[in-house]
Structures are given as C-alpha cells and as structure tokens.
Structure 1
Amino acid sequence: MSLLLASRRLRATVASLLLGTATSTFALDTATIVSSALSPDCLEYRVVGICYWLYCTPFGCSVRTSVKVRHYVPDAVVSSYSNTGENPWLEVRAMSMPNPTAKAGGDGTTNHDNENNLAKFKNADVIGHPAGMVFSQFASASGYTCEGAGTAFMPYLLSTLDTIAWRYNIPEAFYPEALIPGRREIGTRTGLNLWGNVYPRGGFLHQTDDYKSGAVVAQRAGDIVTRRGQIHVYQPLLANARDGYWPAGALMETDASTGKWQELTPTLSNSCVVFPHSRTRVQAQQGDYAWALWRPYSCCRRRGQVFLGSVDFM
C-alpha cells in the first residue's frame, strides 16, 4: 500500500513539474498581453500644452482652446525567437510558420565540443498589440487620449516572408551603417555596454548573450516598421498627422522619446525601458523573447472648424 501511495505521489510530482515547465515556457497568450497594457509607467500620461481652434457660427467666430496631451500607446508586440515557427505568442504562431524559403533557425554551430561560434539567428514578428478597448478605457481615466497607429493582430512584419533581406542581409549588408563601426549601434563601445548593431536589419548577429541578441533583433524589426520605403516585406506601422494629432515617428535606438519596450517574456514587466538597460536579464530557455513596443503620441480635442496651432509648456 505504501509503495502504491509513493508511486502515485511520484507521478503527481512529475506531472506538476511538467505542467510548471509548460506554463513557464508557453505563458504568453493574448490575455496576458492585454493585461500587461495596464501600466502607468509605460503610459506616461502628461499634459504638455494648449491647442487653439477657430469656432464659427452664423453669429460670428471665436477662439476656443483644448488641452494638448502626450502619452505612449502599445502599438505592437515584437517577438524575437530562435526556432522558426515558434513565436512565443501562442495565438499568432500560425502566422509565421516555416516555408520553403524560411525553415530553420538557431545559433551557429560546427558540431565541435570546443567551438566558440558566436553567430546567432533570430526570427522576428511585429504584430498589432491586442489591448484595444481595454487600453483605451485604462488610458482615458487620465483624461483625453490619443489613438495609436497599430491595429490589433495585424502583421506588420513576419521575417519568414522577408527572406532575402532577413536571412541574407541583401542589400543592407553594404549600407554605410553596417560597414562603419559606431553608426546605429545599441549601446556604446566606450561605455562597455554595446549590445549590437542595428544594421544590417536581419536575423543574424554575433553576441554571446542570448537576451541581448533578442533585444537587438527586436530593435531592428521596430526600426523597419516605423519607417516608410524600406527594402523589406512589411507594412509601415505609422499614422498620418492631422489637425490636433501628432503621431509617433521613426524609432531610434536608446531614445525613449521615439519609443520604449515592455518585456512580456521570458519575464513579464510592468514598466518600460530602452535598450541597452541595466535591469536583470533572464535568458529564455528556448531563445524566444517578446516585448510590447510603446510609442509616443500627442493630441488635443477638436473644438472648432479650423486649427490655429498649439503652444507647448516646455
């Protein structure tokens, strides 16, 4: 009887360990991502100025004002992962399965025990953040809110469809940013915190730290989608400016005023950073990482037919 009880306990322990492993490895789902958007630190809501509008009726015209606000919006989820077809965000994994031109992935290897091959490869997907209405309700508690550029679940870049540029670095391997040391780098050499180079914006890089590799590739993907006319297969993640609305522009490394990152996996953070950062970096066992890309928007409520301009406090 004691042996039977011990056997049952052993099976229960093994099952719980397996379940715990599966949970930690596959915890990134849509519900988790949506709830992560409720972050005051990433939102960073501020009143930054005043907008002026000309309001006219049959009885005359007057100038009205409205408050100009600035805050960040989670535009997209950027995944950076080693194994093709294994995006850590489960519900969108089918968008980027292997195909005849994009099959394998992972680190470089020569199959020698004493090798020191630092070559790493990461796939990258940029997909519209799913928070949608939940984020709007959260942000509106602070006041008037601005609309972001992202559409929920919209694929803006899938590296499996961008084979020539992503896997062969053509033509960006020959760009000055890729050939001249010190240009478009994440971190600095003098500060001894160089994580990697933005160009060429593909999946390969040389880096011993897998987390840093994932972050650099995520930055590259974000760099592509926040610009128009890039030689990649992608959709621009950009909104058009209009009266009383100033959307986010091009993402620049180390510059929080252009965008910042909220880690979603392997650890879930409730705050945002830029790369490089000094926080604890957890290495993903399967080489899969994901961040929410938050970008800044400014806007004010329309209070007339003609926009006269705005004045910022600072």
Structure 2
Amino acid sequence: MHTFFTPARHGQTSVLRRRRFVVAALAATIAVLLAKPGLAITSDEIAAIAVRGIGKCSDWRVIGACYWLRCGFDGCKIRASPKVGHFRPDLVVSVYGQHEAHPWAELRAVYGDAWTASIETWARLTGGTPPGSLLEGRSGLRFHEADATGHPLVEFGDFAAFDYVCAPQTLPLKPYWTSAIDVVEWRQGTIDRLRPAAFVPGLREVGNWPLHTWGAVYPRTGWTRQSDAGKAAALVAQRAGDIVTRSEKHRVRLPFESRGTGHWPPKHLYERDSSSGLWQMVLPNAESECSSFGVNDLADRSSWGGGRVGESREWIWNLWRPYKCCRKAGQRFVGSTQVVAWP
C-alpha cells in the first residue's frame, strides 16, 4: 500500500486548508473558461504533466535514517525509520502578459481580476506600466508579469508511486508571490539595482558568462533585454523563483508552510544549480524531463527557445525542489544521520 509520507505535526487542519484552496478554485474554472477566451490550462493538466516527469525528475533515494523516542507501558525505546530524499514539484511558475488572461484557468478565475485591479491602481497613481503592456522592442526589450503558486499535485494520489514521499512546504493554488502585489519592485527594481549582482557583469548570470548568457538574474524585474522570447521568459521565471524562495524585506511574498520535525524543506533557488531546483516546462510544450536554465546552444542549429514559444506568448513551468524527510516512528524526534550525499 502506497502512502503519502507526511512528517510530524502535519495534521487534519492543514489538510482542510489545502482542500479549501482546491475546491474554491475548481468551482470557478468552468465559468472562467466560458467567460474569457484564450489559452488556459487546468490544475488537473498541470498535475498530469508533473506525474509524467516523476521518473526523470524525482531522483528518489534512501539517504540515511531518523531516530525517534517511542514510549509505552513497557518503557521507552529508540526506533529508527528511513530518511529519504527526492525532488517534487512544489511550485508552478507562470510568465505572461496580463493577469486577467492568466494561462492557468483556476488562477485566472480566482485572482485574475483582483491582480489586474491592483496594477491598474498602481499605474493610475504613478503613471507606471499598466497591465496588458507586454513590450517587445526591436532592441529585445521585453516586459512580463509572473507569479509562483503552490503546486496542485499535493492532493493527487498518483504521486504516491513511491512508498515514501515528503510533504511539500506549499499549499495547492496558494499564490506565494505575484508581480501584481510586488508591483513596485517588479517594475522598477529600485532596491535590487543597488546589489552588486545588478551592475557587475558575470554575477548571478543564467549561463556561463562571458562565453554565453541568457541574461542576469538581477535586477529581479519583469524587464529583460533578450531577443529570444523563450529565453526571456525563462529568465523571468528564474527571477520569480529566486524571489519566492527568499525572505527579503523589500519583496512582497507569503511565507511557506511549516512541516515540523523530521522534514527538511529546500533552501534558496540558484541559477545553474540543479541541486537547488529543476524546471519542467508545462506551456507551451508539455515536457517530461527537467533541467536548469542557461544551456549553451551556440553550436546548435536552433536556439533553445526557438521551439518553446507559443502564439499566446505565455509560459508555465513546474519547479521541482529537493526535499528530505522520514516517517514518524515515535513521539519525539531524536535526530538523524545521512550517509548519502544528496542532492
């Protein structure tokens, strides 16, 4: 029997919270698809694409052991349980032109109008870039909106293809970061531009500077100068992932969920570091493999982004992140050992 591997202190309350997000979003899906034209993918489809990537993206393995204190009428004993590590999709990162035409149907239904109103209000007050202004100049200057949302697969039993599966630190369809709320810094990058990575060439590059680069992570705004539309979108996705996985006072984001002892969630996402996260494209192409951005395609016949641009100019990726956890085998967690270097 396959079971979801849920760490200590992960009870009924968090399960009910996850279900509320899913039910609310699914209830609005049919209405939004009928009301608004354009490309839209559903949570079921996103989850199904993630399931197809389990074999090549998860890298599941036993990496050590955890120790628990278990007490009963006959006294207390130390119990051991396997410590496992694997990648799992915990975030969906979307890159697009306007929030009211979000490529993810459920997010468009629940948040699209509110996010658009937020940006319109900011634009009226400041004279800034209004929603729907996807800019593509001859110099390669582009602007995109983006968001990072809890992955819907957390409620799907298909992911329990392994005997031990770590619970994510995200809730399904919960928007942990969106450019509609982090609107000022996403458009202006005032504070980000003060960081050395924003003005020193070679720091935080998506690629191998100076041989080749898709662009710099900093400043983390929606503006890119990249002639390849697919690479520009990937660069924006990397920036969104960078923001949402860090707690910074000048960025507006929601904190991830806490899972208690016996659970080690992923840390910060870094470009060109597959051990911190892997990307699986959902739109415009549904891919079954995961990789890092920044591949050198100078010797290839076509650019990496050449076949990854749809007519709607909208992109979605599953972000797979490394988790470590162990099955609860007692009332109190004592400690753990790791004998395999992972990830």
Normalising by the smaller structure, the TM-score range is 0.7 to 0.9
User: Which amino acid counterpart does residue 223 of structure 1 have in structure 2?
Assistant: D
Which of the numbers 304, 307, 322 marks the counterpart of 1:296?
322
Cα displacement (A) at 1:132: 2.6
Gaps of 5+ in 2: 1-36, 123-129, 298-303
Distance 1:140 1:288 in 2: 30
Gaps of 5+ in 1: 1-22, 110-115
CA RMSD of aligned residues (A): 2.2
Cα displacement (A) at 1:239: 4.0
For the 8 Å contact 2:153–2:159, the answer to whether it is kept is no
Alignment partner, residue 65 of structure 1: 80
User: Which amino acid counterpart does residue 274 of structure 2 have in structure 1?
Assistant: A
The yes-or-no answer on 1:106 pairing with 2:134 is yes
Cα displacement (A) at 1:83: 4.0
CA-to-aligned-CA distance 1:215-270 (integer Å, 9 cap, x gap): 1111111111111134122213x344632111111111111211111100010011
Alignment partner, residue 139 of structure 2: 117
Equivalence map 1:224-263=2 (5 Å): 224-236=243-255, 238-240=256-258, 242-263=260-281
The yes-or-no answer on 1:152 pairing with 2:172 is yes
Cα displacement (A) at 1:108: 4.3
Cα displacement (A) at 1:61: 2.4
User: Which amino acid counterpart does residue 297 of structure 1 have in structure 2?
Assistant: Y
CA-to-aligned-CA distance 1:140-189 (integer Å, 9 cap, x gap): 23112111011111111221222210111122122211111111111112
Distance 2:131 2:71 in 1: 61
Classify the secondary structure of the residue corresponding to 2:152: coil
Percent identical: 37
Distance 2:257 2:150 in 1: 13
Which of the numbers 306, 312, 317 marks the counterpart of 1:286?
312
Alignment partner, residue 18 of structure 1: none
Equivalence map 1:1-314=2 (5 Å): 26=39, 28-38=41-51, 39-40=53-54, 41-94=56-109, 95-97=111-113, 98=116, 99-101=120-122, 102-109=130-137, 116-134=138-156, 137-192=157-212, 194-236=213-255, 238-240=256-258, 242-277=260-295, 281-314=307-340
Distance 2:266 2:150 in 1: 15
Larger Rg: 1
For the 8 Å contact 1:28–1:264, the answer to whether it is kept is no
TM-score (norm 2): 0.76
Distance 1:96 1:185 in 2: 31
Distance 1:178 1:65 in 2: 48
For the 8 Å contact 2:40–2:102, the answer to whether it is kept is no
User: Which amino acid counterpart does residue 282 of structure 1 have in structure 2?
Assistant: R
Cα displacement (A) at 1:84: 4.9
TM-score (norm 1): 0.83
Paired positions, count = 282
Distance 1:27 1:162 in 2: 24
Cα displacement (A) at 1:65: 0.7
For the 8 Å contact 1:166–1:201, the answer to whether it is kept is yes
Distance 1:83 1:34 in 2: 23
1:231–1:35 Cα change, 3 Å:
same
Distance 2:339 2:257 in 1: 24
Cα displacement (A) at 1:62: 2.0
For the 8 Å contact 1:55–1:62, the answer to whether it is kept is yes
Distance 2:210 2:220 in 1: 23
Distance 2:73 2:293 in 1: 55
Structure 1: 4+ residue segments shifted above 6 A: none
Distance 1:169 1:86 in 2: 24
Classify the secondary structure of the residue corresponding to 2:62: strand
Cα displacement (A) at 1:27: 5.2
